Amino acid sequence: MYSAGYDATIANGSEVPGNPRIGQEVSAGTSYTIGKLGMVLAYDQRRGTSGASAGNLERRYATGLLWTDGAFTATAGYRFLQGTIATPSLRAHLYWIGGSYNFTPVFVVRAGVYRTDRRDSSNDAMSYALAIAYTLSKRTDLYLNASFMDNKGASTLGVVNGGSVAPGVDQTGVVAGIRHIF
């Protein structure tokens, strides 16, 4: 994946003529499955989204394993993040383990535990997630997702990707709905 980027300080995040590196993102990934076991490797690099931060980088290296046996699937993974976009610069490990079970062809439960370990501080976090889905038809399902973020120290991670909370504050999120695919 390649994105020419954008400048977040410009209205509607438009590109900067003559400087495609502002907000540029490059990613690659691969996966392999043999029998019940699968593996994935991924790399992502993102540049700062303003003229002042265009030279700053954020890199993610990730790997994961998947094991499936009938209705049960187990997952485990690891991601290393290093970057100079945020101040101060960031170096963090993310570990996760989870699984899913299809109780019937139309009813599935998924759960996961995620641990974020900041290498330069004690501002770590644990996240617990649960998702339930019930298929009504080929294009419609009901879902319920719940998550709890347990922040330590001055960690500000929220239950929504990219969201944040006050330093050290825990957060719970629950969402339920009907999804219809057009």
Give the tens place of pLDDT for each residue, 76-101: 999 999 988 776 678 899 999 999 99
Both tokens of 150, joined, read 């347990």
Residue 11 or 97, more confident: 97
Both tokens of 30, joined, read 């691969």
Please say whether the beta carbons of 150 and 127 come within 8 A: yes
Dump pLDDT digits (tens) for 22-64.
888 899 999 999 999 999 999 999 888 777 777 888 999 999 9
Please say whether the beta carbons of 80 and 63 come within 8 A: no
pLDDT of residue 20: 75
Query: Does the pLDDT of residue 8 top 70, yes or no?
Result: no
- pTM of the predicted protein model: 0.82
pLDDT of residue 12: 67
Q: Please report the domains of the chain, with CATH numbers, ordered by start residue.
A: 2-180 (2.40.160.10)
